[in-house]
Amino acid sequence: MSGDGGTGAAVSYDRRVTTPSTVPDAQLALARDAVRRCAWDEALAAYAQADAATGLPGTELRTYATAAYLLGNVDTAVDVLVRGFEAARTADDTTEALRCGFWIIFVSLSRGHVAQAGGWTARCGRLVEHLDDDRPERAYLQ
């Protein structure tokens, strides 16, 4: 896990991306059940175990990040969102990439990391250019 812990230091990210078939099904079932019950501590633990074992598929990363954020593990949340963004881009899932990017921007701004938020806004802006005008994801950057 990495992050700046509020120090303003450079932030590095774990860039691991996996496919859904490599994740332990039992751990994901536990995590999903915990999310349904809003048992965020259980969800975070189950996602962390599955991630440590084999990594998570891109579709699970945003939910893992949400659990981390809600429990105050902001550095973990941002690290996981970056991985989710990259996994979505690799899978050509622009919508999911923009959702992850939006939350990275939101968290960065709420922590006073304006330059980091600006970089992510530009990156997401380049993705939005390729979406149809009627897509709700366009509103994320307005």
Q: Which residue has the tokens 């995590």?
A: 31
- The helix/strand/coil state of 60 is helix
16 pLDDT above the threshold of 90: no
pLDDT of residue 15: 46
pLDDT of 74: 97
- Residue 19: predicted pLDDT: 47
Q: What percent of the chain has pLDDT over 70?
A: 84
b/e 14-38 (16+ beta carbons within 10 angstroms → b): eeebbeeeebeeebbebbeebbeee
Whether pLDDT at 3 is above 50: no
Give the model's confidence band at 135: pLDDT under 50 very low, under 70 low, under 90 confident, else very high: confident
Ranges 17-26, 68-77, 107-116: which has the least confidence: 17-26
How many C-beta atoms lie closer than 10 Å to residue 43's C-beta? 25
Q: Is the overall model pTM greater than 0.85, yes or no?
A: no
Residue pLDDT, tens place only, 40-82:
999 999 999 999 988 888 889 999 999 999 999 999 999 999 9
